[in-house]
Structure 1
Amino acid sequence: MQDELQTSAEALAAELNRSVYIEAPGYIPLAVSAHYGAVDQARIDALLSRTESPELMAYYKPWRLDAADAPVHIPANEALGLLPRVVYPVRHNGRLFAHIWLIDADPPIGEADDIAVDRASRTIGRILFRRDEKVQERADADESALRILLREDLAGRQGVLDEALRRHDAAADAPIVVLVARGITVASTGEPVTADALESFAAELGTTSGGTAMIPAAWAPELVALVPAKGDVIAAAQRHAHAVRAVAARHGLRFAGIGFGSAVCGVDGLADSYRQGRYCARVAERLTPQEGCRAWDSLGTFRMFAEIPWTPSGVDMVQPGLSSLFDDDRSPLAVTLWTYLECAGDVQEAVGRLNIHRGTLYYRLGRAEELLGIQLGDGESRFRLHAGLQLAKLAGLGKDF
């Protein structure tokens, strides 16, 4: 289908002697012809980033492109580096599938151009309709497969997995990890993603995911996918996260956190990998918001908090009384303890990071020992305290912590 679409774009561009740019609704690029005629900075930027800038999307909004049934003429905007454009809706059986963008300059678009685009849009509409049917069939099959595969109590799961891997041309014996993405929002507004938009994203992800096999499902408010993990699992996780973000950018979406479970072979352990992936996504969302990524195999000591509530009472389970240090937002005790422990008890480095006097550091540490009933010279106490402070970060306690 992609070859058919690209061929149609190239043929139309050659006929018009002007560049053709085809986008799906939401400014998602589908095909770009070879260069003909006028080009502007806005088009160059869109080609490089594979998406329109928020400023351009705001500029286009008054023309309500997704509701148009006829060509829309958009005037130039010098401040945005934009030459005039004509945007043609591509519909099939009344449904909008795409827009054909042409620059309306050198020379301006005429009646003959309109006729040629109208003829080409009917062909492009049929191509996209066929593609949409196939993509939706695959997306439905993937979603159904994942619901079965992640249920440990269901029989026949290995056959379901084998079929899903064949559907995506993935090796049957490849190790698999479960990817989970959380905090999915519209990048331009920060609003939560709708179920329809998430399903559309998942459907494309299963079709084209940066050259990697991926079996996704949209389970609002999260995305779940099975992905192969050949070689280094951590490196594979980074590649898959990059692929997911690239497709998300084309859909105007953003993730607060992406998590990966441990690698498994076959269906045994998939449910565990899913739970691990969900937990890692939570950690990434809390510690590295705006598209952070964490993998179970490299999560380190944060694994210990998977079964402990991320609440003040959970913090006190690890280190009794620790949550009281966060009752007063002005108290510097928590951040002082954290910095001191992160510096492995190196006083000189700690006072440098905190920008305080050595005597002030000793006073604060002594005050914390008194309030918590611990001795920082005791290894067990230091371990509990450090772990409790890590959990406090996950729980979102304290403004400066």
Structure 2
Amino acid sequence: MQDELQATAEALAAELGRSVYIEAPGYIPLAVSTHYGALDKARMDALLARTIAPEMVAYYKQWHLDAADEPVHIPGNNALGLLPRVVYPIRHNGRLLARVWLVNAEPALVEDDDATVARAARVIGRILFRRDEKTQQRADADEAALRTLLRGDVPNRQAVLDEALWRHDIASGSSVTVLVAQGVAVVSSRVEVTSEALKSFAADVGTASGGMAVIPAAWSSELVAVSPVRGDVQRTGRALAPVLRAVATRHGLQIAGIGIGAAVHGADGLTDSYRQAKYCASVDRKLAPLEGYRDWDHLGMLRLFAEVPWNTDGIDLIHPGLGRLFEDTRSPLPGTLWTYLQCGGDAQQTISQLNVHRGNLYYRLGRAEEILGLSLNDGNIRLSLHAGLLLAKLAGFPGLDTAPIPPFNKTP
């Protein structure tokens, strides 16, 4: 299919005497012809980066390209290094399959050129429709496979995994991991992301994974993927997390948190890797939302809370009675105690961070000791308090919302 599409782009470019750029919705490049005619900075950047810069996406949005049924003329923009363009939508049964972009300069397009592009668009549409049928079949098979693989009580799970790996040209017996992207949502909007948007997002992740084949599916504002491990899980995450966020941006979406489970061999360990990935994504969206990722192998002491409820019961399990400190939602005591412990018990550093008087700090610490019935001079007590307050921060308890984030390494 790709050879057919590229051949069509080359033939159209030769007939028009100008370069042809074909992309899928979401600004995903499908085919780029040999260079003809004018070439601007915007096209060069798109070719080199294989993606569209955010400022270009913002500029293009003014012309509502996704809703267009006719060619759209986009004026040039010197600040963006952009020559004028004409964008031709390619649709089938009303659904946008792709767009053909032509630079409208040196010389400008004429009416006959529109007819030439229209003929080529019909050919491109047929190619993409056949591809979309196959893509949809594969997406349905992937979703069914993941739903099977991530349940622990289904027989023949290894056969399901082997078939899914074969479908994506991943060697059987490869070390694999589960990746979870949580909180997939429409950017700057309270509109709930639709299942169709999630499926489109998942499909694009499957074709834009930077040379690393993945088996993706999406449901309930969550994308799940099984990926082969290249080197180790951290290296795999560094390669895939930016791709996920870039594809989400192209679709007008954002990801709250990304998590990656431990590497496993075979289907039996996938449910554990999935559980770990979900937990890592939850931690990521709490501590560093909308950026980076967390993986199980490098989560450190945050693993402690994977099996503990993120509520008052869990906090009291870590340090009995700690929940009493949160009964007054307006109290500064939790944030003060957290900062004091984060500073290693250094009063001067705590005063500096909180911008309070020394006497005020000691009053608050004394009041916390009184409420909890303990002494902060005991190292073991300070350790359990610190752990309990960290869990409270993960759980979003009041008084810790603006407290400093723990100094755990965020994976870029």
The alpha-carbon deviation at position 182 of structure 1 amounts to 0.5
The unaligned stretches of length 5 or more in structure 1 are none
CA contact (8 A) 1:20 1:101 kept: yes
- Going from structure 1 to structure 2, the CA distance change for 1:8 and 1:312 (only over 3 Å counts) comes to same
Match of 1:180 in 2: 180
The alpha-carbon deviation at position 355 of structure 1 amounts to 4.2
- Rounded to whole Å, the distance in 2 between the matches of 1:245 and 1:47 is 19
Deviations 1:206-238 (A, max 9, x none): 234111121111122211111122432222222
93-102 vs 344-353, which deviates more? 344-353
Match of 2:113 in 1: 113
CA contact (8 A) 1:29 1:250 kept: no
- Rounded to whole Å, the distance in 1 between the matches of 2:51 and 2:228 is 27
- Rounded to whole Å, the distance in 2 between the matches of 1:395 and 1:115 is 60
Which residues in structure 2 correspond to 1:284-363 (within 5 Å)?
284-327=284-327, 331-356=331-356, 358-363=358-363
**How many residue pairs are counted as aligned between the two chains?**
401
Q: TM-score, normalised by structure 2?
A: 0.87
CA contact (8 A) 1:188 1:252 kept: no
Deviations 1:281-315 (A, max 9, x none): 11111111113411122222222222333234433
72-81 vs 300-309, which deviates more? 72-81
Find the residue that maps to 1:268 and give its secondary structure: helix
Structure 1 letter corresponding to 2:25: P
The unaligned stretches of length 5 or more in structure 2 are 404-412
- Rounded to whole Å, the distance in 2 between the matches of 1:134 and 1:190 is 33
- Going from structure 1 to structure 2, the CA distance change for 1:363 and 1:280 (only over 3 Å counts) comes to same
- Rounded to whole Å, the distance in 1 between the matches of 2:345 and 2:63 is 61
- Rounded to whole Å, the distance in 1 between the matches of 2:98 and 2:224 is 27
112-121 vs 230-239, which deviates more? 230-239
The alpha-carbon deviation at position 45 of structure 1 amounts to 5.5
Q: Percent identity?
A: 65
Match of 2:97 in 1: 97
CA contact (8 A) 2:241 2:292 kept: no
Find the residue that maps to 1:73 and give its secondary structure: strand
Match of 2:407 in 1: none
CA contact (8 A) 2:208 2:243 kept: no
RMSD, aligned α-carbons: 2.8
From 381, 399, 402, give the equivalent of 1:400. 402
- Rounded to whole Å, the distance in 2 between the matches of 1:232 and 1:14 is 46
Q: Does 1:265 find its partner at 2:244? A: no
CA contact (8 A) 1:312 1:395 kept: no
Structure 2 letter corresponding to 1:224: V
Match of 1:250 in 2: 250
Find the residue that maps to 2:344 and give its secondary structure: coil
Structure 2 letter corresponding to 1:374: L
31-40 vs 172-181, which deviates more? 31-40
Match of 1:391 in 2: 391
- Rounded to whole Å, the distance in 2 between the matches of 1:55 and 1:188 is 16
Match of 2:231 in 1: 231
Deviations 1:365-384 (A, max 9, x none): 22221221111122331122
The alpha-carbon deviation at position 58 of structure 1 amounts to 5.8
Structure 1 letter corresponding to 2:335: V
Find the residue that maps to 2:365 and give its secondary structure: helix
Deviations 1:8-31 (A, max 9, x none): 323322332223222223433323
- Going from structure 1 to structure 2, the CA distance change for 1:354 and 1:95 (only over 3 Å counts) comes to closer
224-233 vs 361-370, which deviates more? 361-370
- Rounded to whole Å, the distance in 2 between the matches of 1:199 and 1:276 is 23
Match of 2:149 in 1: 149
